Amino acid sequence: MKINLPELNATLPMPAPNQALVDALLNRRSTMVKDIDPNNGPSDDELLDILKVASRVPDHGKINPWRFVKFSGEARRKLGVKMADIYKAKHPEMDENHYAMESARFERAHTILLLISSPIPHPKAPEFEQLMSAGGLGFAINLAANAFGYAATWLTEWVAFDDDIKPLFNMTESEKIIGFFFIGKPKNPPTERERPNVSELLSEWK
């Protein structure tokens, strides 16, 4: 699939009814990691295209307050072992099976993408807005990966909240892990889950 980025200051299409987009959004669901093929995923060029599509997210100030780190091939195992060592240092009771599971954490998908919130001081864009932009980007990554024919699952788990992990990614004090995205070809289709009744969540201010 090819993408054509609009030229700077080009006039963009006006919003219009798009049934294909509505259907894609209505049928969207994260794929369970066990249903992602760890040996089949996006090429480097495809991943860049996925990020080009996803990065068209609301960003007050146009400051790009986020960054990405990719892991594939042997790097997935190396990162998993480092994570397992960090966990074991804090939980000496950790058994061999648990250590092996943590070591293989990132080998469950072809490509792992780490999304980091990287706030930038800005007079008009509070840090909270920048964090929301990063959250919106996370959802956009899932959507863009699906558009290119790949499954994508957004996970955090303990590895996203342990400060001892930050040095592995040269993270600053103000940076936060938004999540790890497991991306690859789906092995099995997802099934529909219960959804919210939005009419119960909607109120009207008068």
Domains of the chain, each with CATH number or no CATH: 31-71+109-187 (3.40.109.10)
Distance CA 121, CA 117 (A): 13
Query: Which residue, 48, 165, 180, is CA-closest to 114?
Result: 180
Query: In this predicted structure, what is the pLDDT of residue 156?
Result: 96
The pair of structure tokens assigned to 42 is 């996006």
Which amino acid is located at 48 in the chain? L
Query: In this predicted structure, what is the pLDDT of residue 2?
Result: 81
Partners of 187 in the beta sheet? none
Query: In this predicted structure, what is the pLDDT of residue 4?
Result: 87
Neighbouring CB atoms inside 10 A of 56's CB total 12
Query: In this predicted structure, what is the pLDDT of residue 1?
Result: 79
Residues of the chain with pLDDT under 50: none
Instruction: Please count the residues of the chain.
Output: 206
Query: In this predicted structure, what is the pLDDT of residue 75?
Result: 96
